[in-house]
Amino acid sequence: MPSGWFTGGKSGLLLLLCWGFMAQAQTIPTAAGTGSLPAATAQLTVEQVVSKLQKKNAERATALQEYQATRDYGMQYRGFPTNRKAEMVVHVEYHAPNSKQFTVVSQSGFKFIIEHVFKKLLEAESDATADAESRRHSALSAENYDFSMAGYETTPEGGRYILTLIPKMKNKFLYRGKIWVDAKDFAVVRIKAEPAVNPSFWIKRTEIEHTYEKIGQFWLPAENRTESVIRLGGVAHLSIEYKDYKILKAEALATAENGRGDE
């Protein structure tokens, strides 16, 4: 195996996985559409949707003060020079505004993945949570992205605006692709994208998909999946599943808007 390819530091795979997790670390559910309509049928303009999304994300971030949850990390690599896999279960406690504490409950499999992928992801997330500047530069905002309307979906759970987004700068924590925005709560329910910047020569292609669920009044991560195709022929799959959420302390949010807007 080429030196540094799987090991961190300047490696493509570790940087990619850290990017994949950090890109989704927003307060931004799983919703597969039953029908997709042209962009012209959407009730709001793209500018209105983005404005409401940023406003509601900020309100949710301020109101959510403490929660705890469990995460299941899993990674499988198939290819040169050999197949590898690992799993880790983590207990998470969040305290506003900038603290996340992680406790490893169990771990199994290839130790290198555990130490140099999973635990590095936790370290990177903890550091970014505490760093206001990192949060700003990875946020889903008009400062970081250009948005356009791609369509409007009707689902059993309600309407979904579909937006295409293109990063305004080369940043490994940003991405290009599509987001699905709930038309009532103005929260992102799904992201399907690729990195704005290829993190390494060794990575040929990367696809990410994140889904979110509503816990009480808050939208929190449900599942993250990243697939990376390696130039030498291998494929790496990273998954993070979130469960057992408990909201311990939060302020009440205002009643959700009806999606038509008055801006």
- How many CA atoms are closer than 13 Å to the CA of 128, on its beta-carbon side? 21
Domain that holds residue 106: 12-250
Number of domains in the chain: 1
- Both tokens of 219, joined, read 């939208």
> Per residue in 178-199, pLDDT tens?
999 999 999 999 999 999 887 7
Domain-embedded: residue 260: no
Instruction: Please state whether the peptide bond connecting residue 221 to the residue before it is cis, i.e. omega within 30 degrees of 0.
Output: no
Looking at this protein, which amino acid is placed at residue 92?
A: V
Question: Phi, psi at residue 225, to the nearest 5°?
Answer: -135, 130
Answer yes or no: are the C-beta atoms of 120 and 100 closer than 8 Å. no
Helix H or strand E segment including 102: strand 99-109
Domain-embedded: residue 83: yes
Domain-embedded: residue 174: yes
Q: Is 31 helix (H, G, I), strand (E, B) or coil?
A: coil
Tell me the whole-structure pTM to 2 decimals: 0.82
Band (pLDDT 50/70/90 cuts) for residue 42 is low
Domain-embedded: residue 156: yes
> Per residue in 112-156, pLDDT tens?
999 999 999 999 899 888 888 888 888 899 999 999 999 999 999
d(CA 254, CA 200): 44
Domain-embedded: residue 7: no
